[in-house]
Structure 1
Amino acid sequence: MNWYLEVLKKYAVFSGRARRKEYWMFVLFNIIFAVVLSIVDYALGTAPVIYSVYMLLVLLPALGVTIRRLHDTDRSGWFIFIGAIPLVGFIILLVFLAGEGKPEENKHGANPKFVAAA
């Protein structure tokens, strides 16, 4: 849960790097909250109002952590648009996001794994 809150604290931060754990824990909690809110939405008969508001609220943090994750793999944040290529784009983006971050410092900053350990 702390990883999710850390991403929300960096609401619209697109610079720097994000570890795999930070990214995937945010994705996990985001999916859990989205499913729960959609169930609540249907139970209240307001579908898809609550779910849509939540998704709009986490749009910038989700973009930010995705771009920071791409920075960790030493790629530009513009690689996020590779996901727009039909069929293979999403797979390529998924491979980039799941890959190991560069252990050395890159143009986007120091390795967050070693910064967190220090």
Structure 2
Amino acid sequence: MTFQDSIRTVVMQKYMDFSGRAPRSEFWWWVLAYVIGAIIVSFVPVLPVIYALALFLPTLAVGWRRMQDIGKPGWYFLIPSIYNLIVRLIGPRTEMPMDPETGMPMQMPGFGALAFGGLLGIVGLIIAVVFLFWLVRPGQPETNEYGPPPVR
């Protein structure tokens, strides 16, 4: 699958299709297209949010199908996003009140907060490595519970 084929498949043909399987080429060409687009729109205020919202479902769908191509449940693709949301909600805060006279933090975070933040970072790194390993693997060559192998 070529770069253009991937964009056409993800956006035009399978925008919200969570069934079946997606080959590595479809997924990684889409990731490249998404990143290039994100860089381009990043220079205009508000446009990155609109871009991310518009492409959320097709990105989720192609990731979902990619997981199914390697024999994993598609919902596994949600794990990094859910973890990121949890970290943002319960993770240690980095903003600290600043002393207006010195410009220095008025209070440094305690060791517990630093250790917790470090632990969250390590868990996030492990999740990222596992998912990278899964997403670069070849799909299962035979028909699996999610359907026949995609045309590569």
Task: State TM-score, norm by structure 1.
Answer: 0.85
Q: Extract unaligned runs of 5+ from structure 1.
A: 42-46
Q: Which residue of 2 aligns with 1:35?
A: 39
Report how far residue 81 of structure 1 moved.
3.7
- Structure of larger gyration radius: 2
SS in 2 for 1:110: coil
RMSD of aligned residue pairs (Cα, Å): 1.3
Tell whether 2:126 aligns with 1:88: yes
Does 2:59 correspond to 1:21?
Answer: no
Aligned match of 1:53 in 50, 53, 65?
Answer: 50
**Alignment counterpart, residue 74 of structure 2, candidates 57, 63, 77:** 77
Which has the higher mean CA deviation after the structures are superposed, 66-75 or 81-90? 81-90
Identity of aligned residues (%): 36
- The residue number in structure 2 matching 1:5 is 8
Aligned length: 107
Q: Structure 1: which 4+ aligned runs deviate by more than 6 Å?
A: none
Amino acid at match of 2:21: R
1:34-75: CA deviations, max 9, x gaps? 101112x0xxxxx1x111101100000000000100000011
**1:78 Cα shift?**
2.2
Larger helix proportion, structure 1 or 2?
1
Unaligned runs of 5+ in 2: 84-122
